Structure 1
Amino acid sequence: MDELLFQNPWWKDKKNIENDINIKKLKKCKYTYKPQLFKAADLKSDAVYTLRGARQVGKTTLVKLIIKDLLGRNVNPRNIFYYSMDLVKDDKELFEIFVSWHQTVKGNSKRKYIFFDEATFVQNWEKSIKHIVDTFGLENK
């Protein structure tokens, strides 16, 4: 649970998103660009989205901006789950991480937002995501 809290500091205080390294770097930039993808993100649909691209193009920063936007719209911080999978061993561990978080919000019927970053570090990550969807579904519960 400590790692979940570490990767989701907005659970303690939603203002903690401002201390995120990617958000801080973005604030220091002289020029910034909000990609159309950010504006077009339809987060009201029951769907799985994948964001792919070359290294260091801003995928993680985009995810953090989406999280910041959700927090600004008063989404329950616990309903926003981010996890960087840099050190996740395999698809089974990924599933266990999800279940650990899900146990903390399972009685909450509001929409949940789940962001897995660096998924390609995990072999068979697609199978784990499919298993999560097949087991828990996509609709609000």
Structure 2
Amino acid sequence: MKSTALPAVLAASVLAGLFGATASAHADPLNPRDPDYCGNSADILLCAQQQSTYPSAAEMAYLNAIRGQFPPGSEARRLAAGRTACLEFPKHPTGLIVDQVSVYLQIPKPTAGAVVEAARTNICPKVEALG
């Protein structure tokens, strides 16, 4: 092997590792350093709905858990509701979050409660709820 071939091989493997790391990255709605963070947004639901990233594995589990409760259609608003619930758990009582999700998704409160609980269980199980 030529002495110039080894650095080229090493550089290629480092680049492949970097590309693999960025391809597996996803937005974290709870991380203020994430470019899709909505915690300081004036309209947190609108911000969460307009996030440019694809759902993470946890967010896909959330969508799968609630999918049967809705007619087929876009899941952007449902994902926004779940992401927003996770941001709001430490700040507001769960009942208020359920009320807001009910209005936002235009669904009955029992269904909104199931949506909020699915968000807590799947998207942000480690986030402490206010009450």
* Same topology, TM > 0.5: no
Q: TM-score, normalised by structure 2?
A: 0.35
Q: Whose RCO is larger (CA < 8 A, sep 6+)?
A: 1
Give the structure with the larger strand fraction: 1
* Structure with the greater alpha carbon radius of gyration: 2
More helix by share: 2
